[in-house]
Amino acid sequence: MIKSRAVIAPGKGKPVEVVRIDLPEPGPGEVLVRVQACGVCHTDLHYREGGINDEFPFLLGHEAAGVVEAVGPGVSDVSENDFVVLNWRAVCGQCRACSRGKPWYCFDTNNADQPMRLEDGTELSPALGIGAFSERTLVHAGQCTRVDPAARPVVVSLLGCGVMAGIGAAINTGGITRGDSVAVIGCGGVGNGSIAGAALAGAEKIIAVDRDPKKLAWAQEFGATHTVNAAETDTVSAVRSLTGGNGADVVIDAVGRPETFEQAFYARDLAGTAVLVGVPTPEMELKLPLLDVFGRGGAVKSSWYGDCLPSRDFPMLTNLYQQGRLPLDKFVTEEITLDEVEDAFAKMERGEVLRSVVVF
């Protein structure tokens, strides 16, 4: 057994704990990764609060980068000492989505088969099949995406979830291209990822919408050309006013609430696109006049993990970061230790950080 120090969520709503865990040697198709950095993502807080499921205890953390320490039988895509960003979309290559040439929709993604455990033998549920708030973690080989080893782990780790979700919502799902007008509702890590993605794609006008002046200031650092304080003005009216009365070509809801998605729906131009990338909770419901859905045309889409293909997108975005064309480093508000994860959750809930990143 391999020993590791890690952060777990022991029960619904309970503070996280730093404990020792046991990992098996990698089996067929599995990889042992020595984690170097892992971002504190809102999804981890959802796990702690029981918002995903009740399969406690959870081994938290999933937005990570590190070095392959050992590989199991049959692993050929990665080798020992490879620098990798972990992903939770390890495509199977065989499901109906993969067979149709759309692996970013893979319906049967892979995870490690062997469980990681507490020292008393209790099986852990790794967050998004990764569990990277740990010195080491066991994952499926397909969850490891090689990127340039010269890149800083604390920065490129964020491609593992939130930043990728935001950039992908803009480029992959929203199809933003040069000259487009774009509005992004919610300017946390995912929303600012969408703003950075829109800027990278050549959008002419990028409107950031939030209720927090601090987040609106952050949005400008990622490429927002205009800001709207939703606490002071009506979002739909403001976006239309800034787009000649028409609405934006693409509106991205990075909050994930019925009221914000309704704003996204009506703030887009006729035949425009509304994208939902913020994660709603199970009880939320959306009510829209069906005639408006029909009459306004365009597209209403959800974006799951930014419709990304890690093997394609992670290396490309890493290279753009290294070229100075994608400001990934601006997402890192602070670097912390494993013992500070609970405090990082509190800071995230108060809107004080874009990303706290655990550094090992």
Q: At what angle do helices 258-267 and 235-242 cross, to 10 degrees?
A: 30
9 lies in the same domain as 149: yes
68 lies in the same domain as 40: yes
Structure tokens belonging to residue 152:
């800083």
In a domain, 336, yes or no: yes
In a domain, 125, yes or no: yes
How much of the chain is in helix, strand and coil states, percent to nearest 5? 35, 25, 40
271 lies in the same domain as 332: no
142 lies in the same domain as 13: yes
Please choose, from the candidates 91, 99, 147, the residue with its C-alpha nearest in 3D space to the C-alpha of residue 307.
91
Residue 19 CA to residue 260 CA, distance in Å, equals 39
The whole-number pLDDT of residue 51 equals 85
The whole-number pLDDT of residue 128 equals 96
Q: At what angle do helices 213-221 and 189-201 cross, to 10 degrees?
A: 30
Residue 110 CA to residue 26 CA, distance in Å, equals 15
Structure tokens belonging to residue 333:
């508000």
Residue 89, CA distances (Å) to 34, 116, 139, 143, 192 in order: 20, 20, 12, 7, 22
174 lies in the same domain as 141: no
Structure tokens belonging to residue 148:
């340039």
Q: Which helix (H) or strand (E) holds 112?
A: none
Q: What is the CATH number of the domain that holds 101?
A: 3.90.180.10
137 lies in the same domain as 254: no
Per-residue pLDDT tens digits of the chain, which is 360 residues long = 999 999 999 999 999 999 999 999 999 999 999 999 999 999 999 999 998 889 999 999 999 999 999 999 999 999 999 999 999 989 999 999 999 999 999 999 999 999 999 999 999 999 999 999 999 999 999 999 999 999 999 999 999 999 999 999 999 999 999 999 999 999 999 999 999 999 999 999 999 999 999 999 999 999 999 999 999 999 999 999 999 999 999 999 999 999 999 999 999 999 999 999 998 988 999 999 999 999 999 999 999 999 999 999 999 999 999 999 999 999 999 999 999 999 999 999 999 999 999 999
3-class secondary structure, 18: strand
297 lies in the same domain as 235: yes
**143 neighbors 77 (Cβ within 8 angstroms):** no
In a domain, 313, yes or no: no
User: Which residues make Cβ contacts (< 8 Å) with residue 237, sequence separation at least 6?
Assistant: none
In a domain, 17, yes or no: yes
**322 neighbors 156 (Cβ within 8 angstroms):** no
In a domain, 62, yes or no: yes
Q: Which helix (H) or strand (E) holds 252?
A: strand 248-253
Residue 177 CA to residue 42 CA, distance in Å, equals 29
153 lies in the same domain as 178: no
67 lies in the same domain as 82: yes
pTM for this predicted structure: 0.96
Range of the domain at 346: 2-160+327-359
The whole-number pLDDT of residue 107 equals 93
In a domain, 319, yes or no: no
Structure tokens belonging to residue 130:
């990764």
61 lies in the same domain as 206: no
**243 neighbors 181 (Cβ within 8 angstroms):** yes
The whole-number pLDDT of residue 282 equals 83
Across-strand partners of 86?
144
Q: Structural domain tally of the chain?
A: 2
Please choose, from the candidates 128, 189, 142, the residue with its C-alpha nearest in 3D space to the C-alpha of residue 357.
189
In a domain, 71, yes or no: yes
Q: What is the CATH number of the domain that holds 232?
A: 3.40.50.720
In a domain, 309, yes or no: no
The whole-number pLDDT of residue 138 equals 98
The whole-number pLDDT of residue 218 equals 97
Q: Map tokens 């939770």 to a residue.
A: 88
**57 neighbors 14 (Cβ within 8 angstroms):** no
114 lies in the same domain as 188: no
151 lies in the same domain as 183: no
Helix residue ranges, H only, 255-336: 258-267, 290-296, 310-322
